[in-house]
Structure 1
Amino acid sequence: MRDSALLLYLVRHGRTHANTDGLLQGWSDTDLTPDGLDGVRATARYLAPVPFTAAYTSPLGRTRATAHEILTHHPDVQVSDHAGLKEFSFGDLELLPESALFSRVDPVDMFREVFEGTFAGLPGGEPAQVYLDRVTDAFTTIEQRHRGGGPVLVVSHGVTLMVYLTLHGAVPMQALANASVTVVAVHPDGRREVRAVGIDPSGHGDDVPDLPQDAAVAGDLAAHDATALTPPA
């Protein structure tokens, strides 16, 4: 029997040169690295059996490139971009080393305040509540467009995908790896069920550090099986 829920397949973009170099990326863009592209192609093969009905990306090149590779297995699926799916803006610090951020703020405190909507923003960046509002708007739009169910691909960014999970009570204890897959079922009654978090067909999760435990805002994972998920039809 076909699942009546809308199944959101949330994919973080592939590894980029900025990721490899430890630079803050945000709204800036760098290309996928060769191994990043290989990882995305592994994810694309993993997702090949999923009969996607639609696909969404942020307007940034790294998410579009990731979606392009995944959709080579789904040539009839149309892709749309939504500005609300962009990453959190690091403002004037973008494309600087991560140490430039850590010297200004405690990252645990900062991201907790981002998820709570209380962070004022970095110089040249956006306030957290503006960020949360646009991410919420993007996912609300996608959910409403596809109320009839079926699988939908959403390619976005690490913090943005974690915000979506956190806003609905599922707080990952580990950063999402590049090219990883997280699956959320949105039921007709509005209930959201996290079916899998951080499936890593690319193997890029090996060097993703655990988040500090006190970075959690609220809630627990509704389901966390990153090893034995068969993509639902």
Structure 2
Amino acid sequence: MRLHLVRHARTEYNAAGRLQGWCDSPLADDGRPQLRATAAHLAGIELTAAWSSPSGRTTATAREILRHHDGLPLRTDDGLREYSFGELEARPEPELYGQVDPHTFFASVIDGTHPGLPGGEPAADYLARVTGTFARIVRTHPEGDVLVVSHGVTLVTYLAHLGHDGRAGLGNCSVTTVEITDNRTAVLDVGFVPPIPVPSMTA
């Protein structure tokens, strides 16, 4: 089977540089062309299932993609939610990055060793829910092409669990493909951002 992992489209909090874990914000207008390009890129794949985090930004992204896949239902799972930033939710990113080195911080979240931010979730709990959820999706769909729309840290955490170094991060609306067979799991096409078509110029 193949997992087509998509990070949600750019949001207003992304544009404003605010921490966005369990909190939410609407999709940004300037991110919609990229979302349409990603949806068109995936239109030729015969998806057999579609999953998303229940956050508004992920379900809105998934529904745009599924416009090209008539009748395919969208299922949500809390295990696909983003890491919780606790009391820092929706706060400007410098409030966190002024306290911790972001590379060290996110590395400790991804490997499950960070104790958790005030009011947030311990990284060990986060790692367990992310890896457990993806394992359950794979067991549920042993064949076919499955769409999973989730969040930047969550997707990088899963890829790190598979042995991929995801320190470079994943762009909004990027597509990463994971191929799973009886013998191996291969991470393919990491973070591919489909090009936005350039409007044709007419005389």
- Between the aligned residues of both structures, percent identity stands at 50
**1:167 and 2:161 matched:** yes
**Cα distance in 2, alignment partners of residues 51 and 58 from structure 1:** 21
Q: Distance in 2 between matches of 1:116 and 1:68?
A: 31
Tell me whether 1:197 sits opposite 2:194 in the alignment. no
* Contact 1:179–1:202 under 8 Å retained in 2: no
The letter of the residue matching 1:168 is: L
In the TM superposition, residue 202 of structure 1 has moved relative to its aligned partner by: 5.1
Q: Quote the Cα distance in structure 1 between the aligned partners of 2:87 and 2:138.
A: 33
What is the aligned partner in structure 1 of residue 200 from structure 2?
none
Partners of 2:97 and 2:130 in 1: CA distance: 24
Is 1:109–2:104 an aligned residue pair?
yes
Of residues 64, 69, 85, the one that matches 1:74 is 69
Structure 1 gap segments, 5+ residues each = 1-5, 204-233
TM-score by length of 1: 0.82
What is the match of residue 150 of structure 1?
Answer: 144
Partner of 1:182: 176
Which amino acid in the other structure matches residue 81 of structure 1? T
Q: How far did 1:140 drift?
A: 0.8
State the AA in 2 paired with 1:160: T
- Measured on the aligned residues, the alpha-carbon RMSD in Å equals 1.0
Distance in 2 of aligned mates of 1:173 and 1:94: 22
Q: In the alignment, residue 12 of structure 2 is paired with which amino acid?
A: H
In the alignment of these two chains, the number of paired residues is: 196
Q: Does 1:48 align with 2:62?
A: no
* Offset from partner CA, 1:103-152 (integer Å, 9 cap, x none): 221111111111221100001100000000000111011000011x1100
4+ residue stretches of structure 1 with deviation over 4 A? none
Q: Where does structure 2 lack aligned partners over 5 or more consecutive residues? A: 197-203
| 2:199 paired residue number | none
